[in-house]
Structure 1
Amino acid sequence: MFAVYANEANYDNPLDALVVGERPEPEVPEGWVRVAVRAASLNMHDIWTLRGVGIKAEQFPMIVGCDGAGVLDDGTEVVLHSVVNAPGWQGDDTLDPKRTLLTEKYQGTFADYVVVPARNAVPKPKNMSFSEAAIMGTAWLTAYRMLFVKSGLRPGQTMLVQGASGGVSTALVQLGRAAGMRVWVTGRTEEKRALAERLGAHATFESGARLPERVDAVFETVGKATWGHSLKSLKPGGVVVVSGSTSGPDPSADLQRVFFLQLRVVGSTMGTRDELQNLLEYVDLAGIKPQIGTELPLTDAEQGFRAMLEGDTAGKIVFTR
């Protein structure tokens, strides 16, 4: 079958590890299902796979892609939940110490077919396209958990999203606006800030700019480059919800500010199958049209990977079959 895969790890030049070609069709273990992939979206996790981070050397060659949507053998249209739990695990999917993601242990979605545990195939809303559905499982699920499970925000409160154009950031803007939050966003360029405003941000600011007032919550995926600004932007008792650190993971803790103003720092990783189901229903009920920055045929996958590496994004990058 056609597939986009990493033949080996290459930390310094990840695109050199990318192969567009043929791989054997997957076998379907008992309790798993085969999904004919119709669309799949690109995540930074896929770049890390090419670099060999989070994957053992013996796992290569590995088909990349941890998000997708497609059709089961019986015709059911589904969205994929990419967190694969250990057999028998009970509780929050993301707290399973033996959990894994597609492409860390199991072959990914950038192919004609992918196999997943039956519970990881979630029914797709009829009104949602395959391309829209394909961006739900990682970026949008991460944003949903950050906002509705971890932050404690209520409608009418003010949220700041650090970074205007990434997949999680654009999802936070759209979800926050639909939920009745006042949404502020920072962005490095006028173009990225304009995108956030089109998606519903009430105000946008240059990265690091002094805000008109402090906010109730900051949503942080950037890390070192924005961490100091995030803490300074919070009201006393406010919360910063962290799900990534694309600019580096070593921010100054600024513990004096944290304890004196009683700030909360909350980590958030992906989400559960139930939260994905809730997200799909919410997006459908609210009539949200998820932002897709670029849509490409899977045969042009390298172009999408290159755009992500260069930071040339305006929402999610989606590959279609």
Structure 2
Amino acid sequence: MFAAYASALDADDPLSGLTVGERPEPSVPGDWTTVTVRATALNHHDLWSLRGVGLDEKRLPMILGCDAAGVTDDGAEVLVHAVVSDPDWRDDETLDPKRSLLSERFQGTFAERVAVPRRNLVPKPSALSFEEAACLPTAWLTAYRMLFTQAQVVPGQTVLVQGAGGGVATALVALGAAAGARMWVTSRDPERASRVLSLGAAEVFGSGERLPARVDAVMETVGEATWQHSLRSLRPGGTVVVSGATSGYAAPTELNRVFFLQLRVLGSTMGTRDELVRLLAFCERTGLRPPIHQVLPLAQARDGFAALENGDVFGKVVFTP
């Protein structure tokens, strides 16, 4: 079958290890099944995999991709929940010490077909296209958990999103605004700033700019470059939720500010199958849809990876096998 996969790892030149071509059909254990992929979305996780983060050379070649929407052998339209937990795990899948993502220990979704555990399948609402649905299981699910499970954002609160344009950031803005929160965003790019306003952002500020008021919660994916600004932007008792650190991990902690203002610092990783079900219902009932930067045939996967690496993406890049 046709697939896009990692054939080598290179921290400095990740695209050098990306190969597009034929791979064997997926093997299917007894409690797994096969999904014919109609659409699959690109994430920063896929670039990090090519750099060797979370992916070991001993597992190569590895088909990349976490997100997929497609059709089962019996014709059901489904989404794939990408978090693969231990078969005996019955709690929050993201807390399973043995958890993995598709494309880490198991072959991923950038292929004509993918094998997944049956319990990882979620019915696709008919109101969402395959391309729209494929955008949700990683970036949008991450954003949903950050906002509503971890920060417990409610209508009327003010939320700051650090950075604009990426898949998680755009999802945070769109979801928060649709839920009645006032969404503020920081950005260094005027074009992205104007586009994020169309998603429902109330105001956009320059990176590190002093805000007119303190916020109830900060959604942090940038890390070292924005960490101090995030803490200083919070009201007493406010919450910062961290799901990534693209600019680095070694940020000054300002522990005095954390304990004196009783700030909550929460980590967040992906989301559960139940949260994905709730996210789908939210999108279906509100009419909210993920912004799609570009839809490409899987044969042109390298173009999508290059755009993501160069920071030329607003919303999601989707591949159709």
Query: Which category of TM-score, normalised to the shorter sequence, fits these structures?
Result: over 0.9
What SS does the corresponding residue of 2:34 show, helix, strand or coil? strand
Alignment of 1:1-321 (within 5 A): 1-321=1-321
Deviation at 1:152, TM superposition (A): 2.1
CA distance in 2, matches of 1:142, 1:237: 23
Deviation at 1:41, TM superposition (A): 0.6
Deviations 1:63-105 (A, max 9, x none): 0001111110111011110000112111000000000000110
**Structure 1 unaligned residues grouped into runs of 5+:** none
Aligned length: 321
CA distance in 1, matches of 2:84, 2:286: 28
Which amino acid is 2:301 matched to? Answer: A
Which amino acid is 2:109 matched to? Answer: T
What SS does the corresponding residue of 1:145 show, helix, strand or coil? helix
Contact preservation (8 Å) 2:215, 2:234:
yes
Deviations 1:234-274 (A, max 9, x none): 11111101100011111110111111111111111000011
Deviation at 1:317, TM superposition (A): 1.1
Deviation at 1:48, TM superposition (A): 1.4
What SS does the corresponding residue of 1:278 show, helix, strand or coil? helix
Deviation at 1:147, TM superposition (A): 0.5
CA distance in 1, matches of 2:280, 2:135: 11
What SS does the corresponding residue of 1:35 show, helix, strand or coil? strand
Q: Give every structure 1 segment of 4 or more consecutive aligned residues whose post-TM-superposition deviation is greater than 4 Å.
A: none
CA distance in 1, matches of 2:80, 2:250: 32
CA distance in 2, matches of 1:109, 1:136: 14
CA distance in 1, matches of 2:177, 2:316: 18
CA distance in 1, matches of 2:6, 2:153: 40
CA distance in 2, matches of 1:65, 1:298: 11
CA distance in 1, matches of 2:299, 2:74: 26
Contact preservation (8 Å) 2:8, 2:16:
no
- Aligned Cα root-mean-square deviation (Å): 0.8
What SS does the corresponding residue of 2:196 show, helix, strand or coil? helix
Deviation at 1:56, TM superposition (A): 2.2
Which amino acid is 1:33 matched to? Answer: T
* TM-score, with structure 2 as normaliser: 0.99
Deviation at 1:296, TM superposition (A): 1.2
**Identical-residue share of aligned pairs (%):** 61
Deviation at 1:123, TM superposition (A): 0.5
Pick which of 144-153 and 51-60 moved more.
51-60
CA distance in 2, matches of 1:279, 1:241: 18
CA distance in 2, matches of 1:36, 1:243: 30
Deviation at 1:308, TM superposition (A): 1.0
What SS does the corresponding residue of 1:270 show, helix, strand or coil? coil
**Structure 2 unaligned residues grouped into runs of 5+:** none
What SS does the corresponding residue of 1:19 show, helix, strand or coil? strand
Deviation at 1:7, TM superposition (A): 0.8
Which amino acid is 1:167 matched to? Answer: G
Which amino acid is 1:13 matched to? Answer: D
What SS does the corresponding residue of 1:3 show, helix, strand or coil? strand
What SS does the corresponding residue of 2:300 show, helix, strand or coil? helix
